[in-house]
Structure formats: structure tokens, C-alpha cells
Amino acid sequence: MADLGIDQFLDIGTGIPTAGNTHEIAQAVDPGARIVYVDNDPIVLSHARALMGGTAVGRTTVIQADLRDPVRLLADAESEKLLDFDRPMGLVLAAVLHFVSDENGPHAIVRTLLDALAPGSHLILSHGTADFIPAEVRDRVTGVYSKATAPLVGRTREQVRSFLDGLEVLDPGVVTVPLWRPGSAPAAGADRVSMYGAVARKP
């Protein structure tokens, strides 16, 4: 997205910081890029605020908000004054929607977020799947998460693709994440990794 000229990013469900964070990647392309990270876990926020910085030109901030309340999330993100919602931005939903149950309306959440973005904005989406997992393993894993603070919903490729309805999906479409424009020959089994990924543009 940064290579396409996107210089502001809303990254929701950031998790504990690691190497190759959104701001590091974006600001390596454009030092002036601005990033707002969002997570609902106060422990994540504490780590993120301690470890995440920006370039001298670009800015990075972290806010606490819940993906399941997208209207309030957007208001909180806008109040930071880092993002201009009248210009294209990058929305990053990496490995987070599989923690939103069908009862919480994940498709409506994504639609609310996209509706707030200017034309030309892009969405990066990755989502866990059970397409390649035996049923008994899937049931065991989801059973563990059913006792946690968030469920685990492994959606099919078609269900993941439905999050992109109305968008222009960039090649190669919805594929397992190692197959999305790999820089080298993917390893054996890359087509069965339990995570789909895609990038799409809002027309």
C-alpha cells in the first residue's frame, strides 16, 4: 500500500509489537507516513506504547478501542488528528476478524469501517481458516478458545472473500498468506497454511 502512495494507516488489532510492524514498513517507504494502532487489550497497549516509535517526520500512536464497536473506534481514531479521513488510507485487519463471532456481525463491522474511508483507500485482510484442518483438530482448538475471552472462528475461503464485496481485489486474490506475491518460491505446503490473505481497493 505504501508503494501505491498510501501514507496513512489504521491498524486494528495490532497485538504485541514484533519485528516488521506496520509503521516500520510504511515509514521505510515514506518517512512521513502516519499510523494509528488500535487494540482493546491494555497489556498490548502498554507494550506497544513503550516499543513503537516513528520517524522524525512520520508519527505513530496507539489507542484502546474495540473492533466490535466500530463507530466509537473510528471516532477515537479520528480524535487523534493523525489521520485525514477525506484522503485514502490503509486499513489493516491482520489476523483479527477470526476473533469476532458471527453474532457480533463481522461483515457489518468491516462495512462500517470501509464506509468511513475515502475512495482509493485499501484494505489488508488476513483471516484464519479451518479449510485444511481435520474436523477433530478444528473442534479441539475452537473448544479451547470457547473458554477464552474471544472465540476463534475459522472461516472458509468464500466467507473470507465475502468481506471484500464491493472492493477491487488486487491480484492474486484471496490466497493463503505465503502465496500473496511471495518474494521467492514458497515452501512446500504454503497452499495449505491456515490463514488467508488479500489486499483490496475501495473504488
Q: For position 57, which CATH number holds?
A: 3.40.50.150
Q: Is the pLDDT of residue 55 over 70?
A: no
pLDDT of 58 strictly over 90: no
| 61 falls within a domain | yes
- Domain membership of residue 54 as a residue range: 8-201
Residue 1 lies in a domain: no
Domain assignment present for residue 3? The answer is: no
Q: Which residue has the cell 487489550?
A: 41
Within a domain: 77:
yes
Q: Is residue 91 part of a domain?
A: yes
Flag whether pLDDT at 149 surpasses 80: no
| Cβ-proximal residues to 91 (8 Å cutoff; 6+ apart), any chain | 9, 10, 12, 113, 114, 117, 121, 122, 123, 124
In a domain, 179, yes or no: yes
Nearest C-alpha neighbor of 53 from the set 74, 80, 31? 31
Looking at residue 147, what is its pLDDT?
58
Instruction: Count how many domains the chain has.
Output: 1
